[in-house]
């Protein structure tokens, strides 16, 4: 038996992957911006000094928080992450207060404006706002992060550095400041030309290694033949081709105006509902979302059977760093016209399993090196021609235990995702036994906000009902033989 091919040379840790670079370039256009934002509700005001110290410490441990992207003026070498010599914590961490009464609605509206604003790509690609004066004496932390830094699961791992496991945790030692580098795009070009033969050979070996590894996986699959290669090509066509069902006629319009709606359910209840019909938490979540979308279409007089919904499939392994993106997208036909929630879970599960097992699941990652070399105009043209789904939905497992931030307990986490030409982005985050569902939607696509939010709540209610104990039917006993009662005697009546 021949030895498996040696893996391609590892990418230098400061080099952007083609996928990460595409995410970075997307910041230039509102339709392709990919930053995401976490809203964390604190049970009381945090200690501002301790909070600054925690964020400062995290930025020294998680080096991406102090790095900016430097792009070569000529594409002779990949873009690089470089420790920003002008890093200023006061720019990245800010402080604000809500006007009275400080409601969750006001906080979500502030978060919307923050997420809609573009990141400054000449700096480290994150921002945080500590928000005071929430009703009930609470506070919040809004943390905005470019998708070029990491994906949802990676973000959870990165920000473990910020939290404490108890309210009055002892201070942790402050690591040294990462050594900054004053590097320009011209510097990268000059350096690459100096080492051109070495750079070219290394890049060529990586590209060839990726191709050989992919081919070897295909050949070594059980029953792999020429037919297997054809099957791989067919899988690639499915992944890159039109969605499995046409988009909804009701959700065609797009705009730059969006709104965020949140709801929450106990994780145990969602798990019980899924288990009752042989599904997973993710299946139940997608089925509930589909039920809500179906109700919305019914209410507006445009009932349809299904619409395209894309969900991320994590490609992360235990050896992958927390930074960087390691996911692929899989599109299903969300069964929004199916009235039975149990059947919706079954239909969702069947499709998700099939899509996750596609041989070409990571085809976008494989063509990203070519796409990343396109000039801006050509890349925008390609982006506009890509078929996009109506809905994107993510499920991010959060922290299982309670977490604290500068003396305040994190009560809730709401994750707001980008809207890359889609009508809606929904994200479920489970944290300390509670699932929050954050639905961010384009108001031109969903013009009836009340109907949408009511429908989504009912969609989750009916799925959760699957896991609740059913009332036991009353037992049907044979009627007991009755003894004739002695008639009551009226006054003056003879016995």
User: What is the spatial order of strands in the sheet that 126-134 belongs to?
Assistant: 93-97, 126-134, 138-145, 36-42, 408-416, 404-405
* Region of residue 142 (phi > 0: left; psi between -120 and 50: alpha; otherwise: beta): beta
24, 92, 147, 297: the catalytic one is 147
3-state SS track over the chain: CCCCCCCCCCCCCCECCHHHHHHHHHHHCHHHCCCEEEEEEECCCCCHHHHHHHHHHHHHHCHHHHEEEECCCCCCCCCEEEECCCCCHHHHEEEEECCCCCCHHHHHHHHHHHHHCCCCCCCCCEEEEEEEEEHHHEEEEEEEECCCCECHHHHHHHHHHCCECCCCCCCCCCCCCCCCCCCCHHHHHHHHHHCHHHHHHHHHHHHHHHHHHHHHHHHHCCCCCHHHHHHHHHHHHHHHCCCCCCCCHHHCCCCCCEEEEEEEEEHHHHHHHHHHCCCCHHHHHHHHHHHHHHHHHHHCCCCCCCEEEEEEEECCCCCCCCCECCEEEEEEEECCCCCCHHHHHHHHHHHHHHHHCCCCCCHHHHHHHHHCCCCHHHHHHHHHHCCCCCEEEEEEECCCCCCEECCEEEEEEEEECCCCCCCEEEEEEEECCEEEEEEEEECCCCCCHHHHHHHHHHHHHHHHHCCCCCCCCCCCCCCCCCCCCCCCCCCCCCC
CA 160, chain centre distance (Å)? 17
* Region of residue 395 (phi > 0: left; psi between -120 and 50: alpha; otherwise: beta): beta
Is 467:273 a contact under the CB 8 Å cutoff? Answer: yes
CB atoms under 10 Å from CB of 229, counted, come to 14
- Strand-pairing partners, residue 266, are 434
297 is an active site residue: no
Which residues are catalytically annotated?
A: 147
């Amino acid at each position: 038996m021949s030895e498996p091919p040696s893996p391609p040379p590892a990418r230098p840790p400061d080099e952007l992957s083609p996928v990460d670079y595409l995410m970075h370039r997307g910041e230039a256009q509102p339709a392709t911006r990919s930053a995401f934002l976490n809203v964390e509700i604190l049970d009381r005001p945090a200690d501002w000094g301790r909070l600054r110290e925690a964020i400062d410490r995290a930025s020294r441990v998680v080096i991406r928080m102090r790095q900016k992207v430097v792009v070569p003026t000529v594409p002779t070498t990949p873009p690089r992450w470089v420790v920003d010599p002008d890093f200023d914590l006061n720019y990245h961490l800010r402080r604000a207060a809500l006007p009275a009464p400080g409601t969750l609605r006001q906080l979500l509206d502030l978060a919307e404006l923050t997420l809609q604003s573009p990141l400054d790509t000449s700096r480290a690609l994150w921002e945080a706002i500590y928000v005071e004066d929430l009703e009930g004496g609470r506070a919040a932390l809004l943390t905005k992060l470019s998708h070029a830094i990491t994906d949802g699961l990676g973000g959870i791992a990165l920000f473990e550095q910020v939290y404490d496991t108890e309210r009055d945790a002892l201070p942790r030692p402050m690591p040294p400041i990462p050594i900054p580098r004053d590097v320009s795009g011209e510097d990268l070009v000059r350096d690459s030309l100096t080492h051109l033969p070495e750079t070219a050979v290394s890049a060529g070996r990586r590209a060839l290694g990726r191709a050989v590894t992919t081919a070897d996986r295909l050949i070594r699959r059980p029953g792999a033949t020429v037919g297997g290669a054809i099957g791989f090509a067919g899988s690639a066509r499915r992944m890159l081709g039109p969605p499995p069902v046409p988009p909804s006629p009701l959700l065609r319009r797009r705009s730059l105006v969006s709104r965020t709606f949140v709801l929450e359910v106990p994780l145990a209840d969602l798990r019980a509902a899924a288990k009752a019909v042989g599904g997973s938490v993710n299946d139940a979540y997608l089925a509930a979302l589909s039920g809500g979308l179906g109700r919305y279409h019914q209410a507006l007089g445009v009932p349809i059977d299904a619409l395209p919904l894309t969900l991320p499939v994590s490609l992360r392994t235990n050896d992958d760093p927390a930074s960087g993106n390691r996911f692929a997208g899989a599109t299903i036909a969300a069964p929004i016209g199916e009235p039975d929630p149990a059947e919706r879970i079954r239909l969702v599960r069947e499709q998700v399993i099939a899509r996750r097992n596609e041989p070409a699941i990571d085809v976008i990652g494989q063509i990203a090196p070519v796409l990343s070399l396109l000039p801006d105009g050509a890349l925008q043209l390609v982006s506009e021609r890509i078929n996009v789904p109506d809905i994107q939905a993510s499920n991010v497992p959060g922290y299982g235990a309670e977490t604290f931030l500068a003396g305040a307990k994190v009560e809730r986490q709401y994750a707001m995702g980008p809207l890359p030409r889609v009508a809606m982005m929904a994200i479920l985050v489970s944290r300390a036994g509670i699932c929050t569902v954050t639905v961010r939607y384009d108001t031109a696509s969903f013009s009836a906000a009340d109907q949408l939010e009511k429908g989504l709540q009912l969609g989750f209610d009916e799925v959760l009902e699957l896991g609740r104990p059913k009332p036991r039917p009353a037992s049907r006993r044979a009627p007991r033989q009755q003894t004739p009662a002695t008639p009551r005697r009226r006054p003056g009546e003879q016995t």
